[in-house]
Amino acid sequence: MNRTLHPVTEAPLRFWHRDAVIERHHIPPDRTLLDLLREDLRLTATKEGCAAGDCGACTVVVAEAVNGQLQYRAVNSCIKPAHAIDGLALWTAADLAQRDGTLHPVQQAMLACHGSQCGFCTPGFVMSLFALYQRTVVQGQAVDKHSAMAALSGNLCRCTGYRPIVQAACSLSAEPAQAVDEKPIVAALDQLAATEKTNGAYLRPSTLSALLQARARHPQSQLIAGATDAGLWITQGLRRLPQIIDLTRVAELRRVKHYPQHIAIGAAVNLQDAFEALAADRPLIAPFGERFAGWPVRQSGTLGGNVANGSPIGDSMPLLIALGAQVVLMAWRKGKAVHRHVPLDQFYTGYRQSLLAPDEVLAWVVVPRPAPGEWLGAYKVSKRQEDDISAVCLAVQLHMANGLITAARIGAGGVAATPARAIKTEAALIGQPWNEATLLAAQTAIQQEFSPLSDLRASADYRRQILGQLLQRAWLESTGHPTVRLEALA
């Protein structure tokens, strides 16, 4: 689809591709990377399937130079603004084979395992495997089934021929090695990285103060992080975004900071890294995090974007509410940076509405570290195991002493206009023994506390029932009864 008939950005877009720096002028801020590749550059190896970040047909790999090394990410080019790859290196499926035609190990493995099926999905699968190859095989690690499935979790094959593709992934180490020669790319990217864009139609500040000042100057512009929600407004909602502020290069916000009592996750930290940081304190969060979208979305999308977007079916918020998380909102006022802390359970004011002011940026998500004796359960019910948003999400944090529940925090998603805290249900638990009678009272409370809607994901009745079932699951797990985890079966 041609989307060129609207404001252009004056700063050139520059990225490394096939041994050279590509420079393009007058690329509109909301032009997608896929349109840039297929229509402007005529690089048609990358396919368009859903244009919604769902199917993975459009997957390309980008790399950023960090401390003299490249960090590789598979991204959905259909929902990624082209300008988001400024200063990065890019590979498409046409860039893997050597100039003499020798196939890349990933292509060779796909060929050998009969994983190359249709021309729409295969380029995307190959690119997800290429990113996996660079992250693992090149670092001397073998690919096991779990890491193969995780890396391919954002690629759908409509003919359901996944087995040979997973087999190809697991056989990558057996192919003759072929690493990217990173030195010239890192040198080229270091040159490009010097340019910060704080004016024009696509702003890409690299410091927190520059971001806050840009936000203060342009409160009406579209702030984005990974664009895994905002990208769909362009391709599915056909919205024009005449000015974009991209916060992903803001150095201060790309970190997870560890303190004795809490961790602070910067707004530019991607979901994969954010869930890993949370799981370091609470290992149960790792399988919950793997249920969030698929690998490319987790590599681009951010925790801050999930929270700020405020979808009632967003997955991280029930968990963060149960953990007692706060958000730090920052703005540039009267010539200086100001900030305020807001508990997440008080952040939302209505359907996709929050306390965030037009000049504010959600800078940090602050999560308390576990206190001794904490028990946590986090559950997502969706139609697909991966690459799907939840119908219902429930997170339960309990503290117990002498057989009594001393503290309870419950976050719920998919059951109200906003992510919500189940305060009445918590009240039914606190001070009670954690037995079947208390469970029954809590189930009744949670089913009365929310009035879910019926939609294409689930009926209201189903959602209400699931709330009760998930509480029962929490009771079974926290009291040591045997249960079956889908994640374990996978």
Ligand X SMILES: Cc1cc2nc3c(=O)[nH]c(=O)nc-3n(C[C@H](O)[C@H](O)[C@H](O)COP(=O)(O)OP(=O)(O)OC[C@H]3O[C@@H](n4cnc5c(N)ncnc54)[C@H](O)[C@@H]3O)c2cc1C
Residue 292 as a binder of ligand X (CB under 6 A): the answer is: yes
Interface pick for ligand X out of 109, 121, 201, 224 (rule CB under 6 A): 224
The Cβ of residue 327 has, within 10 Å, a number of other Cβ atoms equal to 25
Residue 391 as a binder of ligand X (CB under 6 A): the answer is: no
- Residue 161 structure tokens: 């021929």
- Give DSSP secondary structure letters for 75-94: EETTSSBGGGGTTSEEE-GG
Closest Cα partner for 241 from 82, 369, 430? Answer: 82
Residue type, 210: A
Interface pick for ligand X out of 304, 312, 318, 414 (rule CB under 6 A): 304
- Residue 405 phi/psi, 5-degree rounding, is -80, 115
Q: Give the number of residues in contact with ligand X, rule: CB under 6 A.
A: 31
CB of 466 to ligand FES, least distance (A): 28
Residue 223 site contact among ligand FES, ligand X, none (CB < 5 to 8 Å, cut-off depends on kind): ligand X
Residue 375 to residue 267: CA distance in whole angstroms: 27
CB of 305 to ligand X, least distance (A): 2
Binding mask 41-60 for ligand FES (x = CB under 6 A): -------xxxx-xxxxxx--
- Cα Rg, the chain, nearest whole Å: 23
Residue 465 as a binder of ligand X (CB under 6 A): the answer is: no
Interface pick for ligand X out of 168, 267, 274, 277 (rule CB under 6 A): 267
Residue 56 to residue 268: CA distance in whole angstroms: 23
Q: Report the b/e string of 33-51 with b at 16+ CB within 10 A.
A: bbbbbbbeeebebbbbbbb
Q: Smaller CB distance to ligand X: residue 344 or 398? A: 344
Stretch that binds ligand X, among 28-36, 282-290, 304-312, 450-458 (CB under 6 A): 304-312
155-194 residues in contact with ligand X (CB under 6 A) are none
SS3 (DSSP) at 265: strand
Residue 53 as a binder of ligand X (CB under 6 A): the answer is: yes
Residue 113 as a binder of ligand FES (CB under 6 A): the answer is: no
Q: Smaller CB distance to ligand FES: residue 25 or 114? A: 114
Residue 117 as a binder of ligand FES (CB under 6 A): the answer is: yes
Residue 327 to residue 332: CA distance in whole angstroms: 17
Report the interface residues with ligand X, using CB under 6 A: 53-54, 223-230, 247, 267, 271, 292-293, 297, 300-302, 304-306, 308-309, 314-315, 356, 361-362, 387, 389
